[in-house]
């Protein structure tokens, strides 16, 4: 008789400081987190939008990523908006799992990319009902690797996005 395999321990340990800050000790670097499904990233975007509209502010979070060589890197989410969005994703898909953490970091990386990269402006539209994102943008963010700083490599992201066959719909004014 074969015994079922023992569940593997989570690479993420969650704690909380006396002042309420969540801490995440992650036994892998951000660039090794798994890709996510585009529909899950879209759901995370919507959950974050709703949380922000409801002013559902959340707690500060500190992530400590450990590399194979034993070195670490830290990511602190102290900005009220980032804390709100991370809280929304945590409620949607626990960020104590590698998938949920990947979903959260990809959402934050996408927001960061949209805010700092002018070339993305044709890929989304912001209106009174929220933001409409081009499906290719979501698909790319769901699959593109994060870098060591838990961001998207802008040139790699842009090249991957440009290679998608449905990006030509922008030329026909899909988001105009």
| Non-local CB neighbours of 149 within 8 Å, separated by 6+ positions | 30, 73, 75
Q: Which tokens sit at 101?
A: 């953490």
pTM attached to this predicted model: 0.86
pLDDT of residue 82: 95
**Distance from C-alpha of 17 to C-alpha of 23, rounded to nearest angstrom:** 7
pLDDT of residue 9: 67
pLDDT of residue 10: 79
Q: Tens-of-pLDDT digits for all 176 residues of the chain?
A: 555 544 556 799 999 999 999 999 999 999 999 999 999 999 999 999 999 999 999 999 999 999 999 999 999 999 999 999 999 999 999 999 999 999 999 999 999 999 888 888 888 888 777 778 888 899 999 999 999 999 999 999 998 888 877 665 543 333 33
Exposure string over 61-85, b if 16+ CB within 10 A, otherwise e: bbbebeeeeeeeeebebeeeebbbb
- How many residues are listed for the chain in this entry? 176
pLDDT of residue 19: 92
pLDDT of residue 88: 96
């Amino acid at each position: 008789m074969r015994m079922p395999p023992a569940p593997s321990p989570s690479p993420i340990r969650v704690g909380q400081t006396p002042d309420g800050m969540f801490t995440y000790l992650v036994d892998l670097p951000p660039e090794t987190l798994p890709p996510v499904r585009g529909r899950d990233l879209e759901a995370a975007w919507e959950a974050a939008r709703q949380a922000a509209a409801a002013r559902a502010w959340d707690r500060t979070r500190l992530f400590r990523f450990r590399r194979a060589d034993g070195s670490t890197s830290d990511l602190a989410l102290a900005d009220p908006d980032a804390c709100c969005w991370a809280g929304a994703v945590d409620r949607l898909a626990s960020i104590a799992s590698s998938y949920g953490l990947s979903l959260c970091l990809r959402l934050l990386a996408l927001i960061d990319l949209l805010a700092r990269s002018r070339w993305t402006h044709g890929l989304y539209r912001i209106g009174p009902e929220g933001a409409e994102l081009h499906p290719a943008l979501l698909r790319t963010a769901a699959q593109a690797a994060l870098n060591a700083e838990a961001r998207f490599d802008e040139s790699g992201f842009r090249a991957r996005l440009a290679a998608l066959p449905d990006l030509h719909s922008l030329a026909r004014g899909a988001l105009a």
